[in-house]
A and B are shown apart, each in its own frame.
Chain A
Amino acid sequence: MPIEIPRDKWSGSVRPVTIGATAAEGGTRARAVTIGGQTCMPYLHFEAPMPNKPAIAIEIKSRKPDDWSALLAEVWGDAMADPAQWAKKAEEAGADLLVLALTLEDTPESAVKIVKSVLGASGLPLIVWGPGQAEKDNELLVPVSEATKGEKIVLGICEDKNYRTIVATAMANGHLVQARTAMDVNLAKQLNILISDMGMPKDRIVMDPTTGALGYGMEYGYSVMERLRMASLQGDAMTQFPMLVTPGYEAWKTKESKVGEGVPEAWGDWKARAINWEIVTTIALVESGADVVVLRHPESVKRVKDAIGELVTV
């Protein structure tokens, strides 16, 4: 007896957003990456095709980080001290996008120089984060934005207490912005409204609803993402943006990933567990609708990429 599967009928869709510009589009990227565009919940091919697959970004830093897990230092090696080398290795590891995180030690001059060196070393579209202090973010991101006009970089991170300067410079120079709010549907909508009200075109906003690591509040972010995606499919225009989350950052600051000694034996092999922590966090977020996942370990990138490949296959 053939059975008839109930189908959800949605009126809305996620806005497609393109990151990076090729030479033809006024930039220098080898290719652009388009995310979003969904018209149903994640990977339900029997309802609607998945127009764009989620992209994997690898996070690199402008300076060698001294607080990253030894497992990451081991795998990236000397490249961690040279952003251009690191960018190349990240591209080789299978990244679709690069996240370049600037640090408090950067000056406007060094930030521009490093961003340009990364753009020169890799053809991948780029996301650039400030160090996370409002004044410093603005001091670094404005010159970076101006020096890379037309590249369609994603500038971040916009938060409710500091978004105007970043949005203004992104608008003026043809870039995009990353809008981060603290795991709450209404806060996310509110920031999207504020940014749109400044005149930012809606196809240049990527929202970051924030996630926790597995075991550290991941489930809050997971459900907020499912709710945001449902709201966008129901037609709520201020939620119809692709979602970027940072499971790599979150997972690698947990004790489970960071520390190999003095932990319970029941946690198992350190390296395998640390990578599993990043992957399991990421897969749950991919299932809940993530469009960009920012990762740190190349092994996680490979396995998540394979999983996404399977999920987008009908």
Chain B
Amino acid sequence: MALSGIQIYKMLPQTNCKECGFPTCLAFAMKLAAKQVELSSCPYVSEASKKQLAESAAPPIRLVTLKAGTEVKAGNEVVMFRHEKTFYNKPGLFIRVNASDPELAAKVAKADAYKVSYVGMDFTVDGFALVGDADASTGSAQSMAAAVKTVRTATKRPLILMGDAAALQAGLSACGGETPLLYAADASNADAMADLAKNSKSALVVKADSLDGLADLTQKIQAKGVEDMVLDFGARGMSECLTRSTQARRMALKANFKPLGYPTIAFPCEAKDEGVAAAQAISKYAGFIVLSEFKPELLYPLLVLRENIYTDPQKPIQVQPGIYEINSPKPESPVLVTTNFSITYFSVANEVEGSGLPAWLVVTDAEGMSVLTAWAAGKFDAERIAKSIKSLDVASKVSRKRVVLPGHVAVLSGELEEELPDWEIRVGPREAVDLPAFMKQALN
């Protein structure tokens, strides 16, 4: 937990020697609290204070980064509810694959190539969880090494290796210095797993059925020199998962309890209903999420949910106001009006584009709000619309002065006629999905 300036001041020498460049120790403490200076500027601070201040400066939930050709980050979160600030690191979505699967390379390649577009952003899967064979024979270790090599022919994304110590050791040896996430240390194998993680500098999942047990294990493993850990609560049911992830996050954020200050991993692939469990994991704090297989019809909604939940609530996603040309409009093409909220813009633009019909799309500055919200807030009214049309000089681009309002703000048509007396004002459909039909039937 971050310390206040006053709390930091109490740990400083309080001599006001000015050697740090500030007039008083209190002024320096305030700058430290604001993270604008380094503690090393103070030549006289005690070792004990240094240690305490360094601990307080560490994030309450450790940032764990999985690096390969691409990168997945988890941790560094600071709030329980997104409206309190924002959630930062989107949970990575990993697809589970089996080392012994004869179609391993093909399955990985197919999921690796997946790309889906949502409001102008491209989403992909984040990585793969490679599961070693269940029985811990030497055969399983060999197959893990071979499987890692096979997977690496098909993807550059980060990996989670799942199996016993022998299998993980074999997998690591085939990784060529790369650091996968290792799964998992529990009470029975903590020493061996900790050694593997330490020697390979990999992050390690720690699994226990209780938070007490987890905290004991992470402390034990940390004492062996492993810094990057990920928590698995053992539970797979909705209620237990929610309870434990909430409790662990509270311990980290509110009690600054380091042994649980790590990101978490969730396994919707082992839940009764994968989609439901994954939706909860995204909403409630998971850092890594393992899905059973590559299913675009589930992956797409989950990727969108993740984007929604991790959008900064203080900053609505916006597009640049202006005039957008869709399907090469001509002077006789209609002028459509909407707001600069991304989702609104892309819904409208996609529909018009899909219809194949040319149009001029005027995007007004509604401070990133959707049509109805902006209208209710007074950010999308006749005056603003008229101002956009005039300032963008739309009249010079068209031969037929005809503007289409969103159906939700049909009420504005009278006022807009007054603002734009030489324009024909039309009221379009309420929903973007009905635009193509409207353009075909009503706009000729």
Judge whether B239 and A272 touch: CB under 8 Å: no
- Tell me the minimal C-beta distance from B404 to chain A in angstroms: 19
**A77 contacts chain B at the CB level, 8 A cutoff:** no
Contact of A310 among B238, B302, B343 (CB under 8 A): B238
Judge whether B283 and A287 touch: CB under 8 Å: yes
Contacts of B280 in A (CB 8 A): 283, 287, 307
Contact of A44 among B246, B257, B295, B343 (CB under 8 A): B246
Judge whether A223 and B304 touch: CB under 8 Å: no
**B270 contacts chain A at the CB level, 8 A cutoff:** no
Judge whether A264 and B239 touch: CB under 8 Å: no
**B390 contacts chain A at the CB level, 8 A cutoff:** no
Chain A residue nearest in CB terms to B214: A3
Judge whether B83 and A227 touch: CB under 8 Å: yes
Judge whether B114 and A280 touch: CB under 8 Å: no
Contacts of B117 in A (CB 8 A): 264, 266
Stretch binding the partner chain, chosen from B9-17, B30-38, B136-144, B307-315: B307-315
Judge whether B431 and A267 touch: CB under 8 Å: no
Residues from 270 to 318 in B contacting A, C-beta threshold 8 Å: 272-273, 275-276, 279-280, 282-284, 295-302, 304-305, 307-309, 311, 313
Chain B residue nearest in CB terms to A269: B297
Contacts of B257 in A (CB 8 A): 3
Chain B residue nearest in CB terms to A277: B301
Residues from 192 to 244 in A contacting B, C-beta threshold 8 Å: 212, 214-220, 222-223, 226-227, 230
Chain B residue nearest in CB terms to A287: B283
**B55 contacts chain A at the CB level, 8 A cutoff:** no
Judge whether B296 and A279 touch: CB under 8 Å: no
The CA-CA distance from A217 to B308 in the complex, in Å, is 8
Judge whether A267 and B298 touch: CB under 8 Å: no
Residues from 367 to 394 in B contacting A, C-beta threshold 8 Å: 370, 372-373, 376
**B50 contacts chain A at the CB level, 8 A cutoff:** no
- Tell me the minimal C-beta distance from A119 to chain B in angstroms: 32
29 example contacts (A-B, Cβ-Cβ < 8 A) are as follows A1-B215, A4-B255, A5-B247, A43-B243, A214-B301, A215-B304, A218-B305, A219-B82, A219-B311, A219-B313, A223-B81, A255-B347, A256-B301, A258-B433, A259-B433, A264-B117, A268-B297, A268-B298, A269-B296, A272-B298, A273-B296, A273-B297, A276-B297, A279-B275, A280-B275, A284-B308, A287-B280, A306-B273, A310-B272
Judge whether A313 and B239 touch: CB under 8 Å: yes
Chain A residue nearest in CB terms to B219: A1
Contacts of A168 in B (CB 8 A): none
**B209 contacts chain A at the CB level, 8 A cutoff:** no
Number of A-B contacts (CB under 8 A): 164
Chain B residue nearest in CB terms to A251: B301
Judge whether B276 and A266 touch: CB under 8 Å: no
Given A182-B373, A216-B347, answer yes or no on A267-B296 (Cβ-Cβ < 8 Å): yes
**A253 contacts chain B at the CB level, 8 A cutoff:** yes
Q: A3-B251, A264-B117, A276-B301 are in contact. List 5 more A-B contacts (CB 8 A).
A: A183-B373, A253-B431, A266-B300, A287-B242, A311-B239
The CA-CA distance from A226 to B273 in the complex, in Å, is 24
Contacts of A267 in B (CB 8 A): 116, 296-297, 300
The CA-CA distance from A43 to B295 in the complex, in Å, is 29
Contacts of B216 in A (CB 8 A): 1
**A81 contacts chain B at the CB level, 8 A cutoff:** no
**B21 contacts chain A at the CB level, 8 A cutoff:** no
**B115 contacts chain A at the CB level, 8 A cutoff:** yes
What sequence of 0s and 1s flags, for each residue 241-283 of chain B, a beta carbon within 8 Å of any chain A beta carbon? 0110011001100110100100000000000110110011011
Given A46-B243, A214-B305, answer yes or no on A255-B433 (Cβ-Cβ < 8 Å): yes
- Tell me the minimal C-beta distance from A13 to chain B in angstroms: 19
The CA-CA distance from A23 to B34 in the complex, in Å, is 65
Judge whether A43 and B433 touch: CB under 8 Å: no
Interface residue tally for chain A (C-beta within 8 Å):
58
Contacts of B273 in A (CB 8 A): 303, 306-307
Contacts of B282 in A (CB 8 A): 284
- Tell me the minimal C-beta distance from B187 to chain A in angstroms: 14
Judge whether B251 and A5 touch: CB under 8 Å: yes
**A314 contacts chain B at the CB level, 8 A cutoff:** yes
The CA-CA distance from A277 to B304 in the complex, in Å, is 10
**B225 contacts chain A at the CB level, 8 A cutoff:** no
Listed in ascending order, the chain A residues whose CB lies under 8 Å from chain B are 1-6, 43-46, 182-183, 212, 214-220, 222-223, 226-227, 230, 253-256, 258-259, 262, 264-270, 272-273, 276-277, 279-280, 283-284, 287-288, 303-304, 306-307, 310-314
Highest count of chain A CB atoms <10 Å: which of B215, B237, B311, B376: B376
Judge whether B296 and A314 touch: CB under 8 Å: no
Judge whether A217 and B83 touch: CB under 8 Å: no
The CA-CA distance from A272 to B295 in the complex, in Å, is 10
Judge whether A307 and B238 touch: CB under 8 Å: yes
- Tell me the minimal C-beta distance from A18 to chain B in angstroms: 25
- Tell me the minimal C-beta distance from B246 to chain A in angstroms: 6
- Tell me the minimal C-beta distance from B300 to chain A in angstroms: 5
Contact of B279 among A212, A223, A283 (CB under 8 A): A283
Judge whether B313 and A223 touch: CB under 8 Å: yes
The CA-CA distance from A216 to B342 in the complex, in Å, is 10
- Tell me the minimal C-beta distance from B387 to chain A in angstroms: 24
Which 9 pairs between the two chains have the least Cβ-Cβ distance? A268-B297, A268-B296, A266-B116, A310-B238, A273-B297, A283-B279, A272-B297, A219-B308, A223-B83
Judge whether B297 and A217 touch: CB under 8 Å: no
The CA-CA distance from A202 to B81 in the complex, in Å, is 28
Contact of A6 among B115, B211, B255 (CB under 8 A): B255
**B118 contacts chain A at the CB level, 8 A cutoff:** yes
What sequence of 0s and 1s flags, for each residue 347-367 of chain B, a beta carbon within 8 Å of any chain A beta carbon? 100110010000000000000
The CA-CA distance from A13 to B194 in the complex, in Å, is 46
**B47 contacts chain A at the CB level, 8 A cutoff:** no
What sequence of 0s and 1s flags, for each residue 211-250 of chain B, a beta carbon within 8 Å of any chain A beta carbon? 1100110000000000000000000011100110011001
What sequence of 0s and 1s flags, for each residue 156-200 of chain B, a beta carbon within 8 Å of any chain A beta carbon? 000000000000000000000000000000000000000000000
- Tell me the minimal C-beta distance from B247 to chain A in angstroms: 5
The CA-CA distance from A151 to B99 in the complex, in Å, is 60
Judge whether B370 and A217 touch: CB under 8 Å: yes
Contacts of A222 in B (CB 8 A): 82, 283, 308-309
- Tell me the minimal C-beta distance from A37 to chain B in angstroms: 18
- Tell me the minimal C-beta distance from A154 to chain B in angstroms: 23
Contacts of B309 in A (CB 8 A): 219, 222, 284
- Tell me the minimal C-beta distance from B342 to chain A in angstroms: 10
- Tell me the minimal C-beta distance from B249 to chain A in angstroms: 10
Judge whether A311 and B238 touch: CB under 8 Å: yes
Chain B residue nearest in CB terms to A272: B297
Highest count of chain A CB atoms <10 Å: which of B247, B297, B376: B297
